[in-house]
Amino acid sequence: MFDVTRRQTPLALAAIFAAVRAASAQGKIVFHRGNDGDPDTLDPHRTSTVAEAHLLRDLREGLVIHNMRGEVVPGVAESWTMSPDGKLWRFKLRTNAKWSNGEPFRASDFVYSFRRIVNPETGAKYANLLFPIRNAEAINKAGPGSSIDQLGVRAPDDRTLEIALERPTPYLLELLTHQSALPVHAASAARAAQEPGRPENWVTNGAYTLKEFAPNSHTRLDRNPYFHDAASVKIDTVMFYPTADLAAAVRRFQAGELHLTTDIPADQFKQLREKLGEQVRIGPYLATYFLIINSSKAPFDDPRVRRALSLQIDREFIADHVWGGTMLPAYGVIPPHIGNYGARAELDFRYQSVLEREEEAKRLLASAGFGNGVPLEVEFRFNTTDNNRHTAETIAEQWRSIGVETRFVETDYRTHFAYLREGGDFDVARYGWIGDYSDPQNFLFLFQSDNAGFNIGKYANPQFDALMKLAADELDIVKRAAILREADSIVITEEPWIPVLHYSTKNLVSPKLTGFEQNLRGAIPTRFLSVTP
């Protein structure tokens, strides 16, 4: 999952304060939380960013969900069973599950939703996550008019959902926590697509409903009275604010305007920890910070050029001095703590000195035709945050030593990721991938040549593709891990994406907020939190 400096106008701030005052006057509990950016969409089958995922955890509930520890627990499904061969799962749905308009929730709603996301006409970037479901891949790749009724999802009755798989899938429950598996209300889906700015068009089934969406200002969610566990939901209103300006978010947190932030400016980390103590929270995260190289265009289609750029990046310096020790140097695509795996593939120069790396980088660029007055010119795109800007500037300075001239293209969160999603031309682009489920396949699938939605650098390697298909067909978990390790070794050798850092979760947490726990998934469902006045 993917991982803007914005100034709020007086009118926007007035609208926020009016909404908050109205809620407070009614004795309601209001939770003010920062978010990575504005959502581009709240349609779960078209979303792809972390900012959207935070909102969707509150708005919708899948068959299973993550709790505050990041554990998979029942959602709409209260129980489930698996067949002995691992290829058929049967979910029993709650009898009191409802939509936010009061309509009963039925198993057929999931049938509609799974069919909708794999339907090629939907254009879902994440459709390939559901390819383990029987016929999902064939339907999605067949084009318009494909037989979506052949998808291996059926509802024998209103309270039973069956999912038939192509093959046993060890990470299925983790996968079903993802937004691609969230349900959509069939009767309102068309209205929501035509008029997304009208909150009443978004019929949801989660703990909250959409009340207001004001771009560059806030998104307001109100408690859903029809939610099956509404009695245990303690927070009445959630105000999400786009906080790409991390320094401004810190100021708002210290002023008591935010109860929670999703990031911390690295250059303030030590100072904030000294001042705020346990309100500063750092923890491991299933995520990697990359530079995507456009390997479909010269000279970046040359592995020598890509390796030279990677060699010259001093990851330890960036982790310690730019990010203040809040990130880990990354020498592999896959982060630590991943499930269903063993030793990860890592760059072979990890333990070489900085001088040795620089000498090899210069030799590689010279052999590729650069040097002696011929610079390698690189356009470096990134989305605006203080941390991203400082990282880009540091990398450009390191590259300068080997004759690389860097030009920056800096845009806001939505523009940056939309540009990449839509196939815009680039040389190098900052990217972050947050694990959708704890399995190496979720990182390696990014490099499959047929993954049009996320293989942004257009990398293509037939041997890698063949290994990924072989792993998908392998039933033995140990043998499967070995095959994925071989595929992992290919991408870390060819470096279509350069791993720079492994993320950590970084939050400022108010003493007024209780129930918060950091977890590998970065999941923060509001329904498990409470706020004291």
Strands (DSSP E) along 459-509, which ranges?
497-508
Contact between 132 and 169 under an 8 Å Cβ cutoff? The reply is yes
pLDDT digit string (tens) for 514-531?
999 999 989 999 999 999
Q: Calculate mean pLDDT across residues 391-397.
A: 98
3 state SS of 66? strand
pLDDT digit string (tens) for 292-321?
999 999 999 999 999 999 999 999 999 999
Evaluate if residue 110 carries a pLDDT over 90. yes
Q: What is the pLDDT of residue 156?
A: 98
Contact between 305 and 319 under an 8 Å Cβ cutoff? The reply is no
Residue 20: band (very low, low, confident or very high) from pLDDT cuts 50, 70, 90: low
pLDDT digit string (tens) for 222-277?
999 999 999 999 999 999 999 989 999 999 999 999 999 999 988 899 999 999 99
In the structure encoding, which two tokens stand for residue 425, read together? 């031309």
Cα–Cα nearest to 130, from 111, 156, 106, 102: 111
Residue 11: band (very low, low, confident or very high) from pLDDT cuts 50, 70, 90: very low
Q: What is the pLDDT of residue 4?
A: 29
Q: What is the pLDDT of residue 472?
A: 86
Residue 399: band (very low, low, confident or very high) from pLDDT cuts 50, 70, 90: very high
How many CB atoms sit inside 10 A of residue 11's CB?
Answer: 10
pLDDT digit string (tens) for 32-74?
999 998 998 899 999 888 899 999 999 999 999 999 999 999 9
Q: Calculate mean pLDDT across residues 96-110.
A: 98
| DSSP code per residue over 206-252 | SSEEEEEEETTTEEEEEE-TTSTTGGG---SEEEEEE---HHHHHHH
pLDDT digit string (tens) for 465-516?
999 999 988 888 899 999 999 999 999 999 999 999 999 999 999 999 999 9
Q: What is the pLDDT of residue 200?
A: 86
Q: Distance between CA 8 and CA 248 in Å, rounded?
A: 11
Question: Distances from the Cα of 128 to the Cαs of 95, 120, 132, in angstroms?
Answer: 31, 11, 8
Q: Calculate mean pLDDT across residues 71-90.
A: 96
Q: What is the pLDDT of residue 199?
A: 87
Evaluate if residue 91 carries a pLDDT over 80. yes
pLDDT digit string (tens) for 208-224?
999 999 999 999 999 99
Q: Calculate mean pLDDT across residues 94-122.
A: 97
Q: What is the pLDDT of residue 321?
A: 92
In the structure encoding, which two tokens stand for residue 136, read together? 């999902």
Residue 5: band (very low, low, confident or very high) from pLDDT cuts 50, 70, 90: very low
Q: What is the pLDDT of residue 452?
A: 84
What mean pLDDT is reported for the chain?
92
Contact between 61 and 206 under an 8 Å Cβ cutoff? The reply is yes
Q: Give the predicted TM-score (pTM) of the model.
A: 0.81
